[in-house]
Amino acid sequence: MTTMDSSPQPAAAGKRERTRQLNDSLRKTLDDSLGKVVFTPGVAALESDVVMMVLSAIAAFDAFGPENDPHGEHDFGSFDLAGYTLFWKIDYYAPDLEGGSEDPSDPQQTTRVLTIMLAEEY
């Protein structure tokens, strides 16, 4: 009798870890060499001090679990701040932004886009 091992393959686990590291680096530093940051109109309309608090909350976010991070990539978060519920999401695009990335763990093949929105804009 043969059993199937449901644990991730080493290569897949390594790619997932690298993707998570790249995502964490973008959201913690907002370094434009790591990706782009986009505000929806609702976030852009917030007072500048609230926007700064939002960015700080995203950088410090660590409430990852199976419900919001099923693939372990740290690519989504939700939190409440200053009376608002906010979402942030990292998407993976090809370098020309014309389609999806073929390998989000490879920064040469991927442009990360961190979108920050009010929950009501979803």
1 falls within a domain: no
* pLDDT score, position 7: 52
96 falls within a domain: yes
SS3 18: helix
In the predicted structure, residue 78 carries a pLDDT above the cut 70: yes
83 falls within a domain: yes
Give the CA-trace dihedral at 16, 19, 14, 96, to 10 degrees: 110
| Mean pLDDT within 39-44 | 98
71 falls within a domain: yes
SS3 23: helix
| Mean pLDDT within 78-82 | 98
Share above pLDDT 90 across residues of the chain, in percent, rounded to a whole number: 89
pTM: 0.90
* 5-41 tens-digit pLDDT: 555 577 889 999 999 999 999 999 999 999 999 999 9
11 falls within a domain: no
In the predicted structure, residue 101 carries a pLDDT above the cut 90: yes
36 falls within a domain: yes
Query: Residue 89 and residue 104: Cα distance in Å, rounded?
Result: 14
79 falls within a domain: yes
Tally of domains in the chain: 1
12 falls within a domain: no
Query: Residue 106 and residue 25: Cα distance in Å, rounded?
Result: 14
Q: Report yes or no: 116 and 30 within 8 Å, Cβ to Cβ.
A: no
* 49-62 tens-digit pLDDT: 999 999 999 999 99
| Domain interval for residue 110 | 32-121
